Amino acid sequence: MGAHTSRTAPRDLRETAHAAQVRELTAAGALDDPLWRAAFAAVPRHVFVPYFWTGRGAGHERLWAEDPDPERRARWLRGVYTDAPLATRLRDGELLSSSSQPSLMARMLEALEVRDGDNVLEIGAGTGYNAALLCHRLGEDLVTTVDLDEEITESARRHLAAIGYHPAVITGDGARGCPSRAPFDRIMVTCTLPIVPPAWLGQCRPGARILAPLSTGLIALTVQGPDLAEGRFLHTPAYFVPLRGSTASPPRASEGLPYELVENERLQFMLVLTEGVLHPREALDLWRREGRPSRERFGVTVGATGQWSWLDDPQGPYVWPLGEARG
């Protein structure tokens, strides 16, 4: 096996699995942009996920690259190059960090609409994989990634260095951004928010774009100044680990709603977005009355005096205080 130990999947198997995933993502329409396609082809996911956890509760199982059992190593490699999120860090059974679903990552990166020379802040370092893709596209000097957990940032830094990237990897509260690396042209968030941290706006250039998971969707905000940003949700559903350092509201229980409606993803999005403002039955009536609106009809305004979500028009009849701003 040459330079490979008996406990490591041979390089050609990893390269084959990597190339197959890029082809699959391209065929699925997740990599329409040739520049991002080249980034995914250049950055191997297995470097950033040397192990991951499967199962739930007491049934958690760790699969890793150096397992002495060849079948378990093969399961690790198959898992790494499956289009699925992977749990990479647990603490007392709680998920702290994961490697996001590659097709969702690709769609988010394309939706970020980066341009050559853009300075990008990533909130949520994770494994470092997303930062590596940004480094390939923009250059490491234009990439900053922040995470609250020192173990996560140290691991991400190590993974990035293994393939020759050295962006700024900062240990700190992502809700505070990173003033020392500002101003930013793009902020990409890989953890779910209860509200948009106001500090980010002041660290952005006018016209900057913020792409962040909120409720169960992705909000794309255009920053108009240090006290104003506004935008609509994309059609893509998104489920991420909550941002630590702020308090995220749990999804509502939807008591009293028929099961088939509780399972409706569009309705669940609206229920979470209007939680604490509309009762489930009120939200259901509005949702039906307005033609079962999709995510793209909803938006968010971040202003100096608060934050609001809205349906169709920020000046229209359906406007609700957002998240912690409700209090």
Q: How far apart are CA 244 and CA 316, in angstroms?
A: 33
Residue 176 CA to residue 269 CA, distance in Å, equals 26
215 counts as catalytic: no
Q: Give the integer Cα–Cα distance in Å for 192 and 40.
A: 24
Which of 6, 97, 155, 246 is catalytic? The answer is 97
Question: What is the DSSP pairing of strand 184-189 with strand 204-214?
Answer: parallel
Q: Which residues of 244-280 are buried (b: 16+ CB within 10 A; e: fewer)?
A: bebebeeebebeebeeebbebebbbbbbbbbbeebeb
* Phi and psi, residue 301, nearest 5°: -120, 130
Query: Which residues lie below 8 Å from residue 268, measured CB to CB, with a gap of 6+?
Result: 216, 251, 254, 262
Q: Which two tokens stand for residue 233?
A: 């949700």
Q: For residue 231, give every residue at least 6 positions away whose Cβ sits within 8 Å of its Cβ, in sequence order, or none.
A: 210, 219, 220, 221, 222, 299, 300
Enumerate the β-bridge partners of residue 147.
Answer: 171
204-214 and 143-147 beta bridge pairing: unpaired
- Asked whether the bond before 183 is cis by omega within 30 degrees of 0, the reply is yes
Enumerate the active-site residues.
97
